[in-house]
Chain A
Amino acid sequence: MAKITINSVEHDIDGPADMPLLWAIRDIAGLTGTKFGCGVGLCGACTVHLDGVATQSCLVTLGEADGKTVTTIEGLSPEGEHAVQRAWRELNVPQCGFCQAGQIMQAASLLAENPKPSDQEILDAMSANICRCGCYQRIVAAVRHASTGI
């Protein structure tokens, strides 16, 4: 059993301590915006904010997340109007879209820490996230775009 605040709502999650946070979010809290892509910290599809910092939720256990605050893509902005989300829409970034929740959470965390990142800082941060469809050019442009609007 773990107490986790997800998107400002407190959840009592009834699961084993070694369960990755990803599966607790998806299977127990029922929030499906956070995606499973690799399960081992290699793709970033599962990226959420843990106490405000971009974190691959497949690598954090329920035990480790106990008492912490999690923001998922559903909670990034109540109306879906975070600057990063808006930039993603203005640039029509996604193809299949599956990686994009993780990409957006990664970008939002980067800009929260570093509102005016250099190109190299954008590339370094976004390298944690694979996009198999190959939207990188637009992803990088959208992060820049959001950064100027933050």
Chain B
Amino acid sequence: MLHFLNQAPQPAEGFTIAKVSRRGFLKVSGAGLALAGFATTAEAFPRWPHGGHAMPHGVRTDPLVFVRVDPDGTVTLVAHRSEMGTGSRTSLPMIMADEMEADWTRVVIEQAPGDEPKYGNQDTDGSRSLRHHIQMARQIGASVRHMLAHAAAAEWGVPAGEVAVEAHMVRHGSHEAGFGDLAEAAMALPVPAFEDLAFKSPSDFRYIGKGKVQITDLRDITTGAAVYGADVMLDGMQVAVVARPPVVGGKVKSFDDTAARAVPGVSAVVELPHSIPPAGFAPLGGIAVVASNTWAAMKGRDALQIEWDGGPHAGYDTQAFLAEMVATAEQPADTVFRNQGDVDAAFAEAARTFGQTYTQAHMAHAPMEPPVALASVTAEGAEIWAPVQSPYACRTDVAKALEIDPAQVKVNVTLLGGGFGRKSKHDFAIEAALVSKAVGTPVRVQWTREDDIRHSFMHTVSAERIDVALDGEGKVTAWRHNSVAPSILSTFAPDGGHQFFIEQGMGHVDMPFDIPNVRCENGAALAHTRIGWYRSVSNVPRAWAVGSFVGELAHELGRDEKQMWLDLIGAPRVVDPVAEGYPEDFWDYGEPYQAFPIDTGRLANVLDMAADAIGWGREMPEGEGLGLCVHRSFVSYVACAAHVRVVDGTIRVPEMHFAIDAGFIANPERVESQLQGAAVMGMTLALHSGIHYEAGAVVESNFHDYEMVRADNYPENVHVHMVPHGFGVHSTGVGEPGVPPVAPAIANALFKATGQRKRALPMGAQV
């Protein structure tokens, strides 16, 4: 089951946040049991509603599932989300430990296998790990602290409310015990109800909000001991590489494996069933070559003679397709998602109009660790070790492919060498299971970089057309945005050619400007490859279009770019989606809108912060320029201010400032590292990331033609400014929202530097 897609939009009733005081909304009563040094529930823990409970299997808060305390005092905390570099495997346990008063140096982290009925939702994407689990982590920590205090109180015959729990110790008067001494009695007590919990006052946090904790796997990463997907070894295991159909939906017509079988070390050649789109995460099929080592398997694959049947997408040519999409975007669309006011009348009455079209090529995620999985399939069942973002969905899909009960499948999650959405799609784990079953030994399926780039679940290709109507004073009276892009939905269901509510909600219908007439349209485009989600998803092309357009409009009207943004955003307001013509199934990242409304004051605030930090308005030397973009995504507000310098025709970024409003920030150090990473990924996609198809197959193959930003030209001096909030402003997404504003900020700065306006991504490194 695809968690990303089956998350229901939150009900639209009660879009009244603008009329309700936010303070009033926050007031949650709770009769907290005041343990010494701990505040009552309502003060220390305003219980924000969030969309985590609407995810499959929701959020679990049972401390007995997540915490073990050993007699020696070692506290084992379970990380149930996959670690792919965002730091959730550190931050969530750190929150538990802080609220529990555990000493971080005595904590060990254990990774959960895929088991959502036990751990709650494990689908690690959508920038949800902290925002859906920060409250859960605090509740679990507070529960264990409560249980320790009560165990001590019973033993010492004193009131539990007078027992102090502090830094791995429990005390009352002359009594004192370590966590380990009380562990057995404490963990046997009934789990307290939320209403009976007392929470630490945020001023007493030791780790939360401090940014002083090193990431869990730091030492192992620096010594080579960290275990990623390809690092698990089993006795008798073999390695396989797979020759896959070059065209999605294609299949093997005939093959000759004589030479492949003759390669020393090759033990078997296995034909895998091909999948017919829409096939979800099912593998593409092809021929697997199994060998005693990776090199032999690769050589065996090279020696295969295969004749392919291309299938219906054998004519896919992205250059021609993009031209068609641009034509579609520049005509009235057949589908309207958002309709506010009367756009046609406003255009008819306009003093002038202005419009532009922006495009983006497909992208492959290219995580540093190519897809890889180890499977051991026996008569009893299957065990998988793999770097997967959604281990429970992986378990379900492996069971389906093997035609066995999911209870017979165990999915162990290794560290992920990057994910970015690619490893939400566990086709590689299913391949390993199928090959292991066929040959009867454990098998690791290793993807090469060429496999990864050619057989990704691609970020969509897009054309975005924006037109505005202006009155005599240069005020925008109408906004029309036609977004054309093959939909992710086409990977899972027959392709209707239109985007669905999740894609609509990512920077299209939620355009936040204060404009009286708005129409968001969607011209049709059919998919010709597997469309997936890539870090920030549809926000990338939408921010690219909207952000570049604001820069162009400013130039057109002779206005300062920052002022143009502020003019469009208007006076601070909390958007009322009903009044502004949003679709009924408007998707606010799966969150209840009342708790996470679009607040344009927060949007303008981060823009101000980033612009001030870079010294907006200063004179720039020849060949240099500053550019801006602000974008709300994953319910966070992020502004990017970029400094571009063109050196010998090469675009360089000597300085970049981010301002982020992500509510309460639990681990500022990892927020900073995520945004430093977003700067690099944003610059990479701005300059380099284009996947092209000819005759149905991907043209690019490795890092020579699918380039990455490197140390010789990376965004230098990236500064991250965070809006400070207390625990009362609930945490929002961080992993993804840094990426969308980067490319448009660079393009706007490049225009200032050179007068050249780029409207197609990737724009290339040279001007």
The 10 closest A-B pairs by CB, nearest first: A33-B224, A134-B680, A98-B417, A96-B85, A95-B85, A73-B224, A97-B221, A134-B677, A80-B223, A32-B231
Q: Does A59 contact B (CB under 8 A)?
A: no
Residues on A with C-beta less than 8 A from B677 are 95, 133-135
Sampled A-B contacts (23; CB under 8 Å):
A23-B294, A27-B295, A30-B233, A37-B449, A38-B449, A43-B703, A73-B224, A89-B214, A92-B669, A94-B221, A95-B674, A96-B416, A97-B85, A97-B226, A100-B221, A124-B712, A132-B367, A132-B368, A132-B681, A134-B681, A135-B676, A137-B717, A138-B676
Chain B 141-200 residues near chain A, CB threshold 8 A: none
Are the CB atoms of A40 and B702 closer together than 8 Å? yes
Q: A23-B295, A122-B711, A133-B85 are in contact. List 9 more A-B contacts (CB 8 A).
A: A31-B224, A33-B225, A38-B702, A74-B225, A80-B222, A94-B85, A94-B218, A95-B674, A136-B680
Q: In the assembled complex, how far is the CB of residue B748 from the closest CB belonging to chain A, in whole angstroms?
A: 21
Q: In the assembled complex, how far is the CB of residue B658 from the closest CB belonging to chain A, in whole angstroms?
A: 12
Interface residues of B (CB under 8 A from A): 83-87, 214-215, 217-219, 221-228, 230-231, 233, 239, 264, 293-295, 366-370, 415-420, 446, 448-449, 669, 673-674, 676-681, 684, 702-704, 708-712, 714-718
Q: How far is the CA of A97 from the CA of B712 in the complex (A)?
A: 20
Across the interface, A15 reaches (CB within 8 A) one of B295, B448, B714, namely: B295
Given contacts A30-B233, A36-B446, A39-B448, is CB(A89)–CB(B219) below 8 Å? yes
Q: Does A72 contact B (CB under 8 A)?
A: yes
Are the CB atoms of B369 and A27 closer together than 8 Å? no
Are the CB atoms of A136 and B415 closer together than 8 Å? no
Residues on B with C-beta less than 8 A from A85 are 222-223
Residues on A with C-beta less than 8 A from B417 are 35, 96-99
Across the interface, B366 reaches (CB within 8 A) one of A72, A96, A101, A132, namely: A132
Q: How far is the CA of A127 from the CA of B83 in the complex (A)?
A: 26
Q: In the assembled complex, how far is the CB of residue A117 from the closest CB belonging to chain B, in whole angstroms?
A: 12
Q: How far is the CA of A136 from the CA of B227 in the complex (A)?
A: 22
Count A interface residues, CB 8 Å.
57
Residues on A with C-beta less than 8 A from B222 are 80, 85, 88-89, 94, 100, 104
Are the CB atoms of B418 and A39 closer together than 8 Å? no
Are the CB atoms of A133 and B293 closer together than 8 Å? no
Closest to A140 in B: B711
Are the CB atoms of B418 and A127 closer together than 8 Å? no
Chain A 58-102 residues near chain B, CB threshold 8 A: 72-74, 76, 80, 85, 88-89, 92, 94-101
Are the CB atoms of A127 and B711 closer together than 8 Å? yes
Residues on A with C-beta less than 8 A from B673 are 92, 95, 135, 138
Are the CB atoms of B369 and A73 closer together than 8 Å? no
Q: How far is the CA of A14 from the CA of B420 in the complex (A)?
A: 38
Given contacts A30-B233, A38-B449, is CB(A137)–CB(B219) below 8 Å? no
Q: In the assembled complex, how far is the CB of residue A49 from the closest CB belonging to chain B, in whole angstroms?
A: 13
Chain A 6-65 residues near chain B, CB threshold 8 A: 15-16, 19-20, 23, 26-28, 30-40, 42-43, 45
Are the CB atoms of B711 and A129 closer together than 8 Å? yes
Q: In the assembled complex, how far is the CB of residue B762 from the closest CB belonging to chain A, in whole angstroms?
A: 16
Are the CB atoms of A134 and B704 closer together than 8 Å? no
Given contacts A27-B295, A130-B710, A134-B709, is CB(A32)–CB(B86) below 8 Å? no
Are the CB atoms of A134 and B233 closer together than 8 Å? no
Are the CB atoms of B368 and A130 closer together than 8 Å? yes
Q: In the assembled complex, how far is the CB of residue A62 from the closest CB belonging to chain B, in whole angstroms?
A: 9
Are the CB atoms of B418 and A132 closer together than 8 Å? yes
Q: How far is the CA of A35 from the CA of B414 in the complex (A)?
A: 15
Q: Does A126 contact B (CB under 8 A)?
A: yes
B contact face: mostly helix, strand, loop, or mixed: loop
Residues on A with C-beta less than 8 A from B367 are 96, 98, 132
Interface residues of A (CB under 8 A from B): 15-16, 19-20, 23, 26-28, 30-40, 42-43, 45, 72-74, 76, 80, 85, 88-89, 92, 94-101, 104, 122-124, 126-127, 129-140
Q: How many A-B residue pairs have CB under 8 A?
A: 181
Residues on B with C-beta less than 8 A from A130 are 368, 703, 708, 710
Q: In the assembled complex, how far is the CB of residue A139 from the closest CB belonging to chain B, in whole angstroms?
A: 7
Are the CB atoms of A32 and B224 closer together than 8 Å? yes
Residues on B with C-beta less than 8 A from A98 are 228, 367-369, 415, 417-418
Q: In the assembled complex, how far is the CB of residue B581 from the closest CB belonging to chain A, in whole angstroms?
A: 38
Across the interface, A72 reaches (CB within 8 A) one of B215, B224, B681, B712, namely: B224
Are the CB atoms of A38 and B703 closer together than 8 Å? yes
Closest to B718 in A: A137
Closest to A101 in B: B224
Residues on A with C-beta less than 8 A from B214 are 89, 92
Q: How far is the CA of A147 from the CA of B712 in the complex (A)?
A: 19
Are the CB atoms of B223 and A74 closer together than 8 Å? yes
Are the CB atoms of A34 and B293 closer together than 8 Å? no
Residues on A with C-beta less than 8 A from B227 are 32
Closest to B673 in A: A95
Q: In the assembled complex, how far is the CB of residue B234 from the closest CB belonging to chain A, in whole angstroms?
A: 12
Q: How far is the CA of A38 from the CA of B217 in the complex (A)?
A: 24
Residues on B with C-beta less than 8 A from A124 are 712
Are the CB atoms of B228 and A35 closer together than 8 Å? yes
Residues on A with C-beta less than 8 A from B709 are 134, 136
Are the CB atoms of B679 and A134 closer together than 8 Å? yes
Closest to A104 in B: B222
Closest to A119 in B: B716
Q: In the assembled complex, how far is the CB of residue B654 from the closest CB belonging to chain A, in whole angstroms?
A: 12
Q: In the assembled complex, how far is the CB of residue A70 from the closest CB belonging to chain B, in whole angstroms?
A: 13
Residues on A with C-beta less than 8 A from B368 are 35, 37, 43, 45, 96, 98-99, 130-133
Are the CB atoms of A42 and B702 closer together than 8 Å? yes
Q: In the assembled complex, how far is the CB of residue A30 from the closest CB belonging to chain B, in whole angstroms?
A: 7
Residues on A with C-beta less than 8 A from B703 are 38, 42-43, 130
Q: How far is the CA of A99 from the CA of B711 in the complex (A)?
A: 13
Q: How far is the CA of A140 from the CA of B710 in the complex (A)?
A: 11
Q: How far is the CA of A16 from the CA of B296 in the complex (A)?
A: 9
Residues on A with C-beta less than 8 A from B231 are 32
Residues on A with C-beta less than 8 A from B676 are 134-135, 137-138
Are the CB atoms of B369 and A35 closer together than 8 Å? yes
B449, B681, B711, B717: which has the most chain A beta carbons within 10 Å?
B711
Are the CB atoms of A80 and B708 closer together than 8 Å? no
Q: In the assembled complex, how far is the CB of residue B348 from the closest CB belonging to chain A, in whole angstroms?
A: 47
Across the interface, A126 reaches (CB within 8 A) one of B415, B711, B715, B717, namely: B711
Residues on A with C-beta less than 8 A from B448 are 39
Residues on B with C-beta less than 8 A from A19 are 293, 295
Residues on B with C-beta less than 8 A from A132 are 366-368, 418, 420, 681, 708
Are the CB atoms of A134 and B714 closer together than 8 Å? yes
Residues on A with C-beta less than 8 A from B84 are 96
Q: How far is the CA of A20 from the CA of B294 in the complex (A)?
A: 10
Q: How far is the CA of A31 from the CA of B233 in the complex (A)?
A: 11
Closest to A143 in B: B711
Are the CB atoms of A37 and B708 closer together than 8 Å? no
